[in-house]
Amino acid sequence: MARVLVTQPLPFPALDRLRTRHELTDDVAQAEGILCLLTDRIDAALLDRAPLLQVVSNYAVGADNIDLDAARARGVAVGVTPGVLTDATADLAFALILAAARGLPQAAADARNGEWRTWEPARWLGLELNGATLAVVGFGRIGQAVARRATAFGMEILPVHRDTPLRDALAQADVVSLHAPLTSKTRHMIDAEALDAMKPKAILVNTARGALVETNALAAALREERIFAALDVTDPEPLPPDHPLYTLPNALIVPHIGSATHTARERMADLAVDNLLAGLDGRPLPHPAS
């Protein structure tokens, strides 16, 4: 029986598999395994306080909250939860694309506020997705799932891989959806220059990581009404209630809910526990972070 630190209680049956085989602790110095969230920072300093640690299991597909080099150097295995949240996140990305394209937040607010006085030919007009171009920045599992949805809507897909010139893609796209992992190379990939390269009135959707986008530059582009942004993730996160981005009518912001379906969150718990049990048994993790 090993000691495991679970940073937040997860209300899913997978946790019973963990509890029946191992003991829970809240003392990192005693922990042989950690099950953590993307909001937990697992850095070298924390790893140094955990000399018995064998495995860190992240309840997320992204691992940018974990210092992977520091873990590797200490022989600590790191696991993530790929695949099971692909459809949930792609659905949310597409919901944001549709909501932004048709101006749903503004139209819904107007209806509620008594602005719906008659049927108006030239009001509440949006972008038709059929024939519009979608740049998918990061063409991994989730990016491809978004592209499949977009193809069904008649959109032209522009996959943006690591070696694709980003500016060219941005200049052609009516909608840009971000699906790249956050690394030192991708941090602030959408900066002032990139935002300048976007088509006027284009839509930027981010369901990946907030820090892919330079927040101040984005706020400036939104203030100048050059683009629309639909964000599931922000930098900082959570975005404080008094943040200026909330005051901009061309920003739609939801609180990092890409994987928030019952199915995805339960399956993430399954994978996270599978990783943890394997690591504690000294077996290779079924879903290692890369």
Report the catalytic residues.
Answer: 209, 237, 256
CB half-sphere exposure, 146, CA atoms < 13 A = 35
Q: Which is nearer to ligand DGY, 127 or 271 (CB)?
A: 271
Q: What is the DSSP string of 54-122?
A: -EEEESSS--TTB-HHHHHHTT-EEE---STTHHHHHHHHHHHHHHHHTTHHHHHHHHHTT---S--TT
Residue number with CB closer to ligand DGY (158 or 233): 233
Report residue 202 CA to chain centroid gap: 20
Cβ closer to ligand DGY: 33 or 258? 258
DSSP count for the chain of H helices, then E strands: 10, 11
Place of tokens 């399956």: 267
CA-CA distance, 207 to 60, in Å (whole number)? 13
Closest CB 195 distance from ligand DGY, rounded Å: 23
Supply the minimum distance, in Å, between the C-beta of residue 53 and ligand DGY.
21
Q: How is the beta sheet containing 251-253 ordered, strand by strand?
A: 156-160, 133-137, 175-178, 203-206, 228-231, 251-253
Beta carbon of residue 147, minimum distance to ligand DGY (angstroms, whole number): 19
Amino acid at 74: R
Q: For ligand DGY, which is the closer residue by CB, 132 or 145?
A: 145
The least CB distance from residue 156 to ligand DGY, in Å, is: 27
- Comparison of 24 and 257: residue with beta carbon closer to ligand DGY: 257
* Chain residues that interact with ligand DGY, rule: CB under 6 A: 38, 60-62, 85, 258-259
Q: How far is the CB of 177 from ligand DGY (least distance, A)?
A: 14
Return the half-sphere exposure (C-beta side, CA atoms, 13 A cut-off) of residue 107: 13
Beta-sheet pairing, 228-231 with 203-206? parallel
